[in-house]
A and B are shown apart, each in its own frame.
Chain A
């Protein structure tokens, strides 16, 4: 087995791992997938070290060590699922290593997302229905405002993220917009509760999933990634709370 081949295997594994971390996969799945690809490519004794911001991989008794950095972390489960499928196909020898590498490139660039209007409709449904469930008093009055304001908040976040490089700032901006609109709705029609509207419309941005995932990472023994993701989730919570809090404080609602 020559060094070039080993390097190529390591490169392929890292490409797979990077896509999975960027798309919000669990750490044990990332490591498992990378080990599997290496093993199926005939490279035993691969060493993998993953963190939420970068991953390393080396092979014993060769000089081959490579690093890949992870700059962006979002949740895009279609990508995780496609990498998973590719790894299975490679294990079943349906595709070769070169094809796997090309397909990974394709997954990274060309994974289709739902069109923006569908995501917006999803947010509207989520905000309004969860608001009713959470308030637990079948509050139909805020149903439509929650849907509309939730969608506006999501769109604000979506577009702000493209202009602002820091994700937390985009979250704070979206939360402030939500708070402002909810307070405005309450002022226009006092029968609407601004609290209920904010709770419903914030749900699409709330990092509850990130927190739960970080706890699971911690329990599973991935201390570094658990702490990293947990801190990220807490920062998001602070950004959201700060955005809403500032608006409420200034408007005195």
Chain B
């Protein structure tokens, strides 16, 4: 498939997948589109990094980081809890394929492969959690810095 078409398919499908999942967990109506944007950004980050050959862990971590940052921005703009944007957003990153392949390997009695795949799932999930934590760190730092700035301005005006 031609490259521009691939990009188009990936963008639209990750948007739709997030949107579809958001419907099943009863996301408030005014947040639906932003959820889709968040899921799309996370997946495209992951996809491009995977194509650059960074490996699964960095790609998932960066994807989750982008979703976390977007979640913080959206939640501040819309005054809604962060998880409304984060939970649907990571759906495309959830390692469903390796998880199922691990089950498949267990059923087939291929324990070596099953352990390898289970480990892969564990690593991906930890990477996603780490990405979120990095995003949280950035958010804490920025609020600290802006609070300090405000304080200094107040002191100067006083």
Q: Contact at A133–B125, with CB atoms within 8 Å?
A: no
Interface size on B, residues (CB 8 A): 47
The smallest C-beta distance from A127 to any residue of chain B, in angstroms, reads 8
Contacts of B80 in A (CB 8 A): 81, 84
Q: Does B115 contact A (CB under 8 A)?
A: no
Interface size on A, residues (CB 8 A): 55
Q: A215 to B126, alpha carbons, bound, how many Å? A: 7
The B interface is mostly helix, strand or loop, or mixed, namely: helix
Q: Does A77 contact B (CB under 8 A)?
A: yes
Which of B16, B24, B101, B133 has a CB less than 8 Å from the CB of A119? B24
Q: A219 to B80, alpha carbons, bound, how many Å? A: 23
Q: Contact at B103–A135, with CB atoms within 8 Å?
A: no
Q: Contact at B129–A126, with CB atoms within 8 Å?
A: no
Q: Which of B1, B99, B102, B128 has the most CB of A within 10 A?
A: B99
In chain A, what residue has the closest Cβ to B31? Answer: A81
Which of B27, B94, B104 has a CB less than 8 Å from the CB of A203? B94
| CB within 8 Å for A78 and B27 given contacts A25-B83, A199-B96 | yes
Q: Does A113 contact B (CB under 8 A)?
A: yes
Interface string of A18-39 (1 = CB under 8 A from B): 0000001110010000000000
Q: Which of B9, B83, B95, B125 has the most CB of A within 10 A?
A: B83
Q: Does B70 contact A (CB under 8 A)?
A: no
- Interface of chain B residues 85 through 132 with chain A (CB within 8 A): 87, 90-92, 94-97, 99-104, 106-107, 125-126, 128-129, 132
- Which 5 A-B pairs rank lowest in CB-CB distance, beginning with the nearest? A208-B94, A122-B23, A125-B20, A126-B20, A241-B103
Supply 15 A–B pairs (Cβ within 8 Å), ascending by A: A77-B26, A77-B84, A85-B79, A122-B19, A122-B24, A125-B17, A129-B20, A134-B96, A134-B97, A135-B97, A195-B100, A209-B94, A212-B132, A216-B132, A241-B106
